Amino acid sequence: MASMPDASNLPWWRGASIYQIYPRSFQDSNGDGVGDLKGITSRLDHVAELGAEAIWISPFFASPMKDFGYDISDYCAIDPIFGTLEDFDALVARAHELGLKVLIDQVYAHSSDQHAWFAESRAAKTGEKADWYVWADPKQDGAPPNNWQSLFGGPAWTWDARRCQYYLHTFLKEQPQLNLHNVEVQDALLDVAKFWFERGVDGFRLDALNHAMVDPLLRDNPPAPEKKGQRRSRPFDFQTKLHSQSQPEMVYFAERIRGLAESYGAIFTMAEIGGDNALEEMKAFTLGDGRLNSAYSFDFLYSPELTPKLVAEAMAEWPGDRGEGWPSWAFENHDAPRAVSRWCAPEDMDRFAPVKMALLLCLRGNPIIYQGEELGLEQVDIPFEQLQDPEAIANWPLTLSRDGARTPMPWVDEELGGFSAGEPWLPLGEANRAKAVSAQVGKPQSMLETTRRLLAIRKGSPELRHGSFELVQALHGVLVFRRCLGDRCVLCAFNFGQDDAPMPPEAKDMARLASINGASGRVLPGLSGFIGKLAV
């Protein structure tokens, strides 16, 4: 068994439950149909009462909104649609009053093409910021410099007549790639980090961090082998991204980020790492005490089904060895479809949702709850004429719209859901509106109240926050594992199938912490879960 640290000496973030807020869709305070910072502040009591320990807020920075805030035109300004810096300061102050830590996104792989840095860089091939972005001459026939493809479709290069060169963009053409091989660019981004640390934020989620540095030689990517059953809807899917991302030098910039965070009091840093070699890179970015605190795993976000085998394999990769980083887990987010819509039949959603939540909160690592997940919200089918997501529009109908998971939070069971006094930027979805906070609060068996109880159990159980993961069973739809700290253990059992299954013999003498859908120390009915403390 891996050696376990003394839980009393661990930092606040280790094992903390994090609540993700997508600001456009959380709460609108001024009736324009788009959520904002004042709206978030007005609803922080909901998050605190839920029992989460930190909030992560997706981008709210100045932006032309080509990719809804992930195209930043000023890293240190609030977009007017979301409010002002004073509104942000008030949000941080209120969160801290409620005992909530505040994490925000930092986007270092690219900026908006409207950023002042890019305007200066594209003006000429010489100058102070000429090398702040990834530029390249065309081939002799005028073609792009290599075969790299954009994740959003088409070549990852766009011709710029001002410089008579191509610039790189892994995502939209309005999101030019920053050149992080340039130390001056790194310094400028660290200055951005300082700005937000000094405004009181408690940490960062670092967006698409392994996309932030590319091969300086701009070599072609090799073709990707076709996988059985794989549907490749974009040119991006036909390549192995050997040279266009995931460069080993990025870990040294991660060390600089961690060093800066430490100077502000061991602030939490969590990287988003996706792609074909995600696990290897997550390990590298979080190795030892000098790199990032955690990495955000994609193991579950795009999985078409939830199985005991999937969970067991994901946990086995993070056994807690000395020097190993700390994982973070999410089942859904603003980019990934709602899990209840992926992982169960529509008629099973109400029974499945609390089992899924219990599992998330029993895993070793930081659980991340996406807004509305505590209500059991499902994916909304957005018709083409109402789509806002640029990726979905570009690749329609082959790419599932991210808009379906970004629909506004339903606070009351009314037409506009209590989200806004005006027409919401996306429809709420009739089924989700019926799952509003007002329809669930105070009802003991509701998804909302179940989530509150489960979060309280996690917060009060050092074994669940910090303990080891010991697999007992992962077979025939049944998953059983222990979370142990010293000589104390919590047994966690889940049945993802429809038929009853027996519990392990040791369970009959447990003190029950939680029972989902009729589970007991002796039997696990179909779609149920059980959490119990084992006798010492």
Which are the catalytic amino acids? 207, 272
Number of C-beta neighbours around residue 523 at 10 A? 15
Tell me which residue has tokens 């790189």: 168
Q: Two tokens at 103?
A: 């994490």
- DSSP helix/strand/coil, 158: strand
* Backbone phi, psi, residue 181, to 5°: -70, -20
DSSP code per residue over 348-383: GHHHHHHHHHHHHHHSSSEEEEETTGGGT-------
- DSSP helix/strand/coil, 269: strand
CA 252/CA 304 separation, integer angstroms:
35
CA 31/CA 27 separation, integer angstroms:
10
Contact 28, 379 (CB under 8 A): no
Closest CA to 108 of 49, 39, 181: 181
Contact 202, 101 (CB under 8 A): yes
Q: Count Cβ atoms within 10 A of the Cβ of residue 269 and give its class: 0-12 exposed, 13-18 middle, 19 or more buried.
A: buried
Residues 6+ apart with CB under 8 A from 201: 92, 102, 103, 104, 267
In 298-441, which ranges are E strands? 326-330, 366-370
